[in-house]
A and B are shown apart, each in its own frame.
Chain A
Amino acid sequence: QSALTQPRSVSGSPGQSVTISCTGTSSDVGTYNYVSWYQQHPGKAPKLMIYDVNRRPSGVPDRFSGSKSGNTASLTISRLQAEDEADYYCSSYAGSYTFYVFGTGTKVTVL
């Protein structure tokens, strides 16, 4: 089971935007609109930020948005804030055999 591919790190200054890519295959991201994104601060459990490609759970700021094109999903954080510094993981449903897969994770640094 191969993990979805994410860049190891991205960075931006407060107020800027950053985008994290998540590349899968036609067996997961490319076929299903069940991509979700999680934020993880050090020593904490992951927190759901985006589900179903572009839907935000209640309480998640609208600065966080998701999209998908082909086999690649993306998470964009607009108006970057210091509290956004964390690790971010994408994930996807992957069919009845593999079922579920996470991304490799991206560290977001606020400069």
Chain B
Amino acid sequence: QVQLQESGPGLVKASETLSLTCTVSGGSISSGDYSWGWIRQSPEKGLGWIGSAFYSGGAYYNPSLQSRVTISLDTSKNQFSLRLTSVNAADTAVYYCARLFIGSPRRSFYFDNWGQGSLVTVSS
């Protein structure tokens, strides 16, 4: 069973860069059947997709965050990372890393495995 675990600072100052890492165990991030993504959830609010990166190369980002976000894969460590620049109070949220099944040749798109979540607070 694949497991995902987020790690990183729980407190980030406004205008600085939020950096989180997701360590994957029980499966390889090099599989072409999956993409690796980040989702966040503001306190008392719903889920928001941030972006997803592919082993084959390339990534897709939420258009509202695209100018500030980067997701990268490190296959040597079986990890993937999130960088969100110029953060503000609105970026305070629980950040989840998750595996997106995309399949081949039969396509699909759903998050089948999630990390437990990491609370990141942006302070002024």
What 6 pairs between A and B have smallest CB-CB spacing? A51-B110, A36-B110, A93-B109, A99-B60, A105-B46, A45-B114
Q: Is the CB of A52 within 8 A of B108?
A: yes
Please count how many residues in chain A sit with their CB below 8 Å of the partner chain's CB atoms: 26
**A73-111 residues at the B interface, CB under 8 angstroms:** 89, 91, 93, 96-105
Please count how many residues in chain B sit with their CB below 8 Å of the partner chain's CB atoms: 25
**Chain B contacts to A: CB under 8 angstroms:** 37, 39, 46-49, 52, 60-64, 96, 100-101, 107-112, 114-117
Bound state CA distance, A101 and B46, in angstroms?
11
Judged by a CB distance under 8 angstroms, whether A14 is at the interface is no
**A38, A96, A99: residue with the most chain B Cβ atoms closer than 10 Å:** A99
Judged by a CB distance under 8 angstroms, whether A3 is at the interface is yes
Known contacts A1-B64, A99-B60: does B47 contact A89 (CB below 8 Å)? yes
Judged by a CB distance under 8 angstroms, whether A18 is at the interface is no
A to B CB contacts below 8 Å, 21 in the list: A3-B46, A32-B109, A34-B108, A34-B110, A36-B111, A45-B117, A46-B96, A51-B101, A51-B110, A52-B108, A89-B47, A91-B47, A91-B110, A93-B109, A98-B63, A99-B49, A99-B62, A100-B37, A100-B109, A102-B48, A105-B47
